[in-house]
Structure 1
Amino acid sequence: MLTRDPAAFLAFARATAPDFGPATARAAFLVAPDGFTLAEQSAQDNRYMAEAAAFDAARASAQHRDLHRAFAGVLPTVCFAGNPDTPDALFPNNVFATGRPDAAVDPHGAPRYVVGRMRHEVRQREANRPDIRGFFATMGYVEVDLSRQPHPAELTGALVIDRARGLGFAGLSERCDAEGARLMHEALGLRATLLFDLAEGEYHTNVVLAVLAGRAAVVCPKGFADPAVADAIVALYAPHAVLCTPEEHAAFVGNCIALTPEKLWMSANAGRTLTPAHRAQLAAAGFEVGIVEIDAIEAGGGSLRCCVGEIF
């Protein structure tokens, strides 16, 4: 099912069992922020990026190592070298994603890795990395390469996924058009994907929405062009749907991730902004909140979730 109708999607999703696959990843990968600096092309449609003078490559690198250590404490996490020719490469989830066939239909199907089609040329270079492609190939992952077709499809930046139920939430912008969303839906073998327009000025869905281990959601309502879409998502995950304040939205609270069923992670800036009521709401959903200081990384226009490539 691929639809723009939030009511139809909600009806389908409510009847969908959480048997698509594991709700959280079995491992993760990162890309080091080597040569971290302002990417002028990316700044054209990313209002969260700081001015060039605010970039501190040494601090970003140190914080990225802290991030790696934190994640490695909860699941296997590998880090690939960065490249000064690809200053945005520390956000690899936009370029590489993994998935497995519907476990209820094909429990023994081969896993796949998907290579996305980035909007900007500076990020398209990342898709050609032989080391990351080879990493998945040696583990038996089947390649699905979307990078050579013309439609932007920036993977789990544009597409937030409920891995337990095989549901996708695709926010359309310059970084993902309707055809790109369809290609991602098919590449990852999802059961249903809801297509919707992001609010003006938003570039990626994962800045305004997180689905946590298939049982909770963090929603930034102002990030959606149509309030009915946010309402449908909230209804699907109620009572465990956190509605971010404008301050939480701006601090990247929506850019969080559950790496295990019991713990979610967000940046320290997001954690400081998270209200006590919302922290309690996440605790009621069964989540401890882990934080890592990554203010230097956030100058690049993304936050903690953007740094994580999930391996399913």
Structure 2
Amino acid sequence: MITRDVNEFLQLARNTAPDFGPATARAAFMVAPDGFQLAEQSAADNRYMAEASAFDAARASAQHRELQRALSQVIPTICFAGDPETPDALFPNNVFATARVEGVPRYVVGRMRHPVRQREATRADIRRFFADTLGYAAVDLSTQPHPCELTGALAIDRARGVGFAGLSERCDEQGARLMHEALGLRATLMFDLAPGEYHTNVVLAVLAGRAAIICPRGFADPAVVAGIGALYAPHAILLSPAEHAAFAGNAIALSDDAVWMSAHAGRSLDGATRAALAAAGFDLRTVELDAIEAGGGSLRCCVGEIF
């Protein structure tokens, strides 16, 4: 099922067992921020990006390395070399995603909106890693016309096999349908992001299949917020505008017991949010990423998941 009808989606999702697959990834991959600088095309529809003068490539590289080191304490985390011709490549989860469909592993290549990011989809080394080293089958969406920026545009509950596709210039309805099919999901809810939002993973994070972090101002329709909140109650955590602006919605769980976000996001959390994460069984882990956040994304954007 793929639908815009919140009630229809909830009726199916509530009765879906958490047996689709592991709730968290078995490994992660990253792409180094080599040549990190302002990408003018991406800045056209990403209000989170800083001015060119705020970019510090050396600091971004050091923080990215520290992020890899930290995540490697939890799951195997590899990092591919970057390319100065692709300054946004440090956010690879928009371009490459993985899934197991009926037990068969596959990797999906997304269709990026901007030409500067479309170059990332041609990376032969990353494609060979998935195809030759891991033996994953390919589903290549990069050459069709509909934008579908994978786990930037689509937040996924991997335990239930359900997705949440926020529509914007980075993902249209047909793009959402293509991702739904490529990842073999049981159900996907499509909805409009609020004006000015570019990716779902900045405003929604599903944590290990049992909790959700939601930024209400990131959704065009409050009914969608209410529906997602009902699905994950009592562990639906609504963020304040200040927490939203600090990238606290751009979080990820890579194990059953911890949620990761940037240090800036972590400092923004109020007591109620911290208590709600603890009640859901998550420790909070953070890494300083202020230089990377100048590029309009944060911790979750840097992490590609391998299932």
- Aligned AA (1:137): A
Distance 1:47 1:277 in 2: 27
Secondary structure of residue in 2 paired with 1:66: helix
What one-letter code is carried by the residue in structure 1 that aligns with 2:54? Answer: A
Amino acid at match of 2:184: G
Match of 2:179 in 1: 184
Identity of aligned residues (%): 77
Q: Which residue of 2 aligns with 1:52?
A: 52
Q: CA deviation at 1:230?
A: 0.6
Q: Partner of 2:121 in structure 1?
A: 127
Q: Does 1:291 align with 2:286?
A: yes
Where does residue 276 of structure 2 map in the other structure? 281
Amino acid of the residue matched to residue 10 of structure 1?
Answer: L
User: Could you tell me how far apart the structure 1 residues matched to 2:277 and 2:303 are?
Assistant: 21
Quick check: 1:110–1:140 contact (8 Å CA) kept in 2? no
TM-score, normalised on structure 1? 0.98
Cα deviation, residue 177, structure 1: 0.1
CA distance in 2, matches of 1:277, 1:245: 11
Match of 2:19 in 1: 19
- Output the CA distance in 1 between the equivalents of 2:290 and 2:42: 18
Identify the residue that residue 268 of structure 1 maps to in structure 2: 263
Question: 1:277 Cα deviation (Å)?
Answer: 1.2
Q: CA deviation at 1:11?
A: 1.1
Provide the residue aligned with 2:61 in structure 1.
61
2:167 match:
172
Shift of 1:240: 0.4
Q: Distance in 1 between matches of 2:127 and 2:197?
A: 29
For 2:78, what is the secondary structure of its paired residue?
strand
Question: Are 1:137 and 2:141 an aligned pair?
Answer: no
Alignment partner for residue 213 of structure 1, among 208, 211, 231? 208
What amino acid is the match of 1:191? R
1:2 is matched with: 2
Alignment: residue pair count: 306
- Higher mean alpha-carbon deviation, 277-286 vs 22-31, is at 277-286
CA distance in 2, matches of 1:91, 1:21: 24
- CA separation in 1, counterparts of 2:229 and 2:202? 16
**1:194-222, CA deviations, whole angstroms, 9 ceiling, x for partnerless residues?**
00000000000000000000000000001
Q: Tell me, yes or no, if structure 1 residue 156 matches structure 2 residue 151.
A: yes
**Paired residue secondary structure (2:291):** helix
Task: Tell me which amino acid in the other structure corresponds to 1:124.
Answer: Q
Superimposed CA distance per residue, residues 112-148 of structure 1 (whole angstroms, 9 cap, x where no aligned partner): 0000000000000000000100000121100000000
Pair 1:111-2:111 in alignment: no
Aligned-partner Cα distance in 2 for 1:48–1:30 = 21
Residue identity opposite 2:183 in structure 1 = L
- 1:79-130 C-alpha deviation (Å, 9 max, x unpaired): 00000000000000000000001xxxx3xx3200000000000000000000
CA distance in 1, matches of 2:131, 2:107: 9
Letter in 2 for 1:9: F
- Contact 1:91–1:307 (Cα < 8 Å) also in 2: yes
1:250-303 alpha-carbon deviations (Å, 9 max, x no partner): 000000000111111000000000111111111111100100000000000000
- Runs of at least 5 residues in structure 2 that lack an aligned partner in the other structure: none
Aligned partners of 2:216 and 2:284: how far apart in 1? 21
Q: Distance in 2 between matches of 1:233 and 1:205?
A: 13
| Residue segments in structure 1 that go unaligned for 5+ positions in a row | none
The amino acid across from 2:123 in the alignment is R
Aligned partner (choices 294, 298, 303) of residue 303 of structure 1? 298
What corresponds to 1:200 in structure 2?
195
TM-score (norm 2): 0.99
Q: C-alpha distance in 2, partners of 1:262/1:293?
A: 20
Residues 264 and 289 in structure 1, CA contact (< 8 A), matched pair in contact too: yes
Aligned equivalents of 1:236, 1:87: Cα separation in 2: 37
* Separation of aligned partners in 1, 2:159 and 2:295: 31
Which residue is 1:36 aligned to? Answer: 36
Q: What is the rounded CA distance, in whole Å, between the counterparts of 1:262 and 1:146 in structure 2?
A: 34
